Amino acid sequence: MAKQWTPQEQMLLRMTSEFTANEIAPLDLQIDHAGRYPDGLFEQVVATGFLSVMLPHEFGGAGFGPEVTAEVVRRVAEGNASMAATLEGHYKTVYQMLKYGTPALQAKYFPTAGQRIFGFGMTEPTGGSNPMSIRTTAVRQGSDWVLNGNKIMITNGGLAEVYCVLAKTGPQELSVFVVDQDMPGFAFGKRENFIGLRGTPVGEIFMNDVRVSDDYLLGKVGQGGEIGDSAHDDARILMGAVLTGIMDHALGLATSYAKERKAGSTPIGELGSIQRKLADIAMGRETTRLLYQNAAALHAAGQPYSEEATMAKAYGSRTAVAACDDALQVFGGYGYSRDYPLAHLIADARALEIAEGTVEKMRAAIAAAELAK
Amino acid sequence: MKIVVCIKQVPESNNVKFDPVTHNLMRGGMSGRINPFDKNAIEAALRLRDAVGGEVALLSMGPDSTAEILRDGLAMGADSAYLLSSRAFAGADTLSTGYVLAQAVRQIGNVDLTLLGRQAVDADTGQVGPIMAVNLNQPQATYATQLTANGNQLTVVRDLDSLTQTVELPLPAVITVRAEANTPRYETPLHIQQSFEKQVTIWRDTDLDLDPEKLGQKGSPTVVRKVYAPEAKTRAQTALPSEPAAAVDQLLVIMQQHGLI
C-alpha cells in the first residue's frame, strides 16, 4: 500500500509539482536541444532548497526521508528527467557521506551540501562494472593519502564541486575518499556528449597528486566496495523514480494527444490499438512506481533493499524505453520530430539501462540474490 | 520593522457557488488557497524584512481550516501567524472584516506596516485595506508595485494603470500590493518543516477588544442583491487584410469615412 504522506510531505510535494510545472517543464525541449540548463535554472533549483531535501536538520537541511525524496525526484522528472538525474546524483552521494562519513567530514562538507552539488566517481576508462579494474590509487605518504587517477562519466561531473572517489589502496583493496575542486592537483576533463539526459552534465575529473588527510577517507580503508554498492543501491531507487517520472510525462502527452487527435471524426483514443499502448504505458509506470517505492520504504524502515532497488532500475529502464516508444507511436510523425519531447524521453530512459550498473549486471545480481536464498 | 500581512483563503477553483438566499459565496467543503495577490504582499514583506530586519506576522480571518493557508505563508518564510476564528465573525462584509482585522493589528502591537494584496480574487472588492487604514487611523497607499523603507518613512510606487505615482508615507501605514510588485518565492523544504513547528495563534472574538455591533452580519451593511456574470458585449468589427500595404489603404479609407482625417 502506498505511503500516506504527512501534511509536511504533502506541502513539499505540492510545491515540487508547482515548481516543476512553472519553472522546469516549460524548458524541457530547450534543455534537450541546447544540451544544458538555461542560465539561472539550476541556481533557482538550489535557491528553492531542493539540494537539502534529505539533508538532516542539524546540517541545515529539511530532513525528509527516502520515500519522499524519491517522490520529489519523480515529480521533477515528469517535467525534465535531466534535472531529476542531477538531483539523483547529489542525493546518492550525500546518502553515502551520511552513512559512512565521520563527524569531522560531515561537519566540513554538510553545511554547504544544500548550496552546492556533490558527485560520486567510480567509473574509469578501463572499466566501470568491475571495480577492481580501476587504476586510481591512493598511496600513504606520512599521515596523508596521495591520490592519482581519473574518473569518467560522473553524473554532474563539472557541475559538482565535491566528489567521493573510489581508489585502490592495495592490489585488492578499495577505499573511498572525498576530494573537492579546490584541492591542488584536482582538474576537470571533458563533458560527455550523450544522446539523452542532455541537460545533466556527465563529466570527467583528474587527480594528480591530490593530497588528503585521513579525515577525507569515507568509511574505513578497504570499505570502498561496500560503499560503492551502497551508492548504487540508493541511486537505483532514485532512478526508478526518474523512470516513473519519464513515464508520467510520456503518458500525459500520449493521453492528451489521443483525446484531441482524430482519425476521420473519431479521436484516436477510442481506437483499440491506441488504447492498448496507453494501457501498457500506464501499467509500466505503475509497476515501476511500486518497485521503487517498495525499495524506498525498506530503506526508510532500515531493512535491506539492495535487490529491490536493483529490480526498480532493471525493470523500470527497459519498461520506460518501451513506454516512451509506444507514446511516440501514438503521436505518429509528430512523435518522431525533435520538436516534440518523445524522442528525448526514449533517449533519457535509455541512459538508465547503462548508468549505475548495466541491466545485464543487475540481472546477474538479482539472480545471485535469489540463488542464495 | 514589524510587518503584518493580512491574507485571505479563496476557493481553489474558479467554479464557485453562491448561496441562493444570502447570495454570499458558499465556502463549505471547498478546498482553499492563499489569495494570489496576498502572496505578493507576503513576498514584499519578506523582502522588506530581509532588507531592514524585523519580523513578518501573518493574519487571517476565517474558519479554523484557514490555518492551512497560514501554514503555507509560514513555509514561504514568515515568522508567526494569527487566525481570527469565531462564529461571531461569520457573514462579515468588508466593513466588518476590516474592523476586526484592524483590532487584531492593534492587539498584536507595535506594528509598523500592514500589507494586503490589492484585492481578493473571489470577491474582487479591494476594500479591506483602505477600511483597515481608516480604523487604524493610519496613512494608506493602494496598488503598490514598489516599497522602500527609509527609517520611519516608506516610499511607495503606485501603479494606477494610466499613471504611476510615487508617494512617501510615515509609518505606521497600510499598503495594498499589486501582482506586478514581485514574483512570490516558493516554499522551501526547510521552511516547510519549520512552518509545522511554529504555532498558529488562534484568537476568538472574546480574545479581542471588539464592539459586538460591528461583527458578523450585524456589523455588515452590505446586502448582495444579485450575483450574475456580465453579458459579453461585442462591437462592430472590421477585419483588415493581412498584407500590410493593403491594410493601410483600407484603414485610411475607414478613417476618412469617419471624418478622422
Residue B145: the pLDDT is 97
| Span A300-316, average pLDDT | 97
- Please judge whether A48 and B188 are an interchain contact, meaning their C-beta atoms are less than 8 angstroms apart: yes
| Span B245-252, average pLDDT | 92
Residue A237: the pLDDT is 98
Which sign does the torsion angle of CA A152, A157, A161, A165 carry?
negative
What's domain A7-112's architecture? Orthogonal Bundle (1.10)
Selected for mutation to probe chain B from A5, A10, A11 (highest B CB count within 10 Å) is A11
> Residue ranges per domain, chain A?
7-112, 118-223, 226-371
Cβ pairs A/B, distance under 8 A: 44
Which residue of chain B has the CA closest to A69?
A: B189
- Min Cα–Cα distance to chain A from B74, Å: 12
The alpha carbon of residue A244 and the mean position of all alpha carbons in its chain are separated, in whole angstroms, by 12
| Maximum Cα–Cα distance across chain B | 73
| Span A267-279, average pLDDT | 97
The CA distance from A351 to A32, in Å, is 14
Selected for mutation to probe chain B from A10, A15, A41, A50 (highest B CB count within 10 Å) is A15
pLDDT-derived band at B236 (thresholds 50, 70, 90) equals confident
Helix, strand, coil percent values for chain A (each to nearest 5): 55, 15, 25
**Shortest CB distance from B193 goes to which of A8, A15, A50?**
A8
| Span A344-364, average pLDDT | 96
| Span A100-104, average pLDDT | 95
pLDDT-derived band at B19 (thresholds 50, 70, 90) equals confident
Which residue of chain B has the CA closest to A47?
A: B188
Which residues of A does the annotation mark as catalytic? 356
- Min Cα–Cα distance to chain B from A267, Å: 28
Q: pLDDT for B75-102, tens place per residue?
A: 999 999 999 999 999 999 999 999 999 9
Cβ burial of A193 (10 Å; 0-12, 13-18, 19+) is: exposed
| Span B34-51, average pLDDT | 96
- Please judge whether A62 and B71 are an interchain contact, meaning their C-beta atoms are less than 8 angstroms apart: no
The CA distance from A191 to A201, in Å, is 7
Selected for mutation to probe chain A from B188, B195, B196, B200 (highest A CB count within 10 Å) is B188
pLDDT-derived band at A231 (thresholds 50, 70, 90) equals very high
Residue B187 has pLDDT above 80, yes or no: yes
Residue A1: the pLDDT is 56
| Span A78-96, average pLDDT | 98
pLDDT-derived band at B28 (thresholds 50, 70, 90) equals low
Residue A182 has pLDDT above 90, yes or no: yes
Which residue of chain B has the CA closest to A18?
A: B186
The SS3 of residue B85 is: coil
Cis peptide bond N-terminal to B172, omega within 30 = yes
pTM, two decimal places: 0.90
Residue B127 has pLDDT above 60, yes or no: yes
Q: Please determine whether the domains at A7-112 and A118-223 fall in the same fold group of CATH.
A: no
The CA distance from A281 to A327, in Å, is 8
CB A313 within 8 A of CB A243: yes
The CA distance from A371 to B9, in Å, is 58
Is the CB of residue B76 less than 8 Å away from at least one CB of chain A? no
CATH 2.40.110.10 fits A118-223, yes or no: yes
Nearest Cα to B7, choosing from B50, B44, B55, B39? B39
Residue B170 has pLDDT above 60, yes or no: yes
- Please judge whether B196 and A18 are an interchain contact, meaning their C-beta atoms are less than 8 angstroms apart: no
CB B74 within 8 A of CB B195: yes
Residue A321 has pLDDT above 60, yes or no: yes
CATH number of B2-214: 3.40.50.620
According to CATH, the topology of domain A226-371 is: Butyryl-CoA Dehydrogenase, subunit A; domain 3 (1.20.140)
| Helix and strand totals (H; E) in chain A | 11, 10
- Please judge whether A63 and B193 are an interchain contact, meaning their C-beta atoms are less than 8 angstroms apart: yes
